[in-house]
Structure 1
């Protein structure tokens, strides 16, 4: 799609915006009388920063052996019987 004339841009603006938003087109150049006049590009939306470690200290530490020991308890909860 790359370059479109002004009349085509007027009649199919929503399709052009959708193509840019979806990533199907990186940019679309709008031409007037065959000469580039404007460029349609997606807006770079800043990503929200994630805070890491929000649950740090909320749960007691668990070593690997204690984690594995929970398997029997979980199996009992699902199957309703002991090993």
Structure 2
């Protein structure tokens, strides 16, 4: 699907229809005076995938709160 450009006024008048089009995968750019100012696009819920950090060592002089380091290290 391509990108549709609509003015702020058009977006206001056709908001529900534009949201439906975005949900269907279309990318919609909202313009003001012909210049892009916002984008309407579908949200995708992707799981956060972290890399394998086993064996990673955190320096003793790292200046982060202990709870942040514990979370990072999985403690």
TM-score by length of 1: 0.50
- Following TM superposition, where does structure 1 have runs of at least 4 consecutive aligned residues deviating by more than 4 angstroms? none
Higher relative contact order (CA 8 A, sep 6+): 2
Flag the structure with larger Rg: 1
List alignment gaps of at least 5 residues for structure 2. Answer: 48-75
Structure showing the higher helix proportion among its residues: 1
RMSD after superposition? 1.5
Equivalences, count: 45
TM-score by length of 2: 0.54
List alignment gaps of at least 5 residues for structure 1. Answer: 48-83
Match of 1:40 in 2: 40
Match of 1:12 in 2: 14
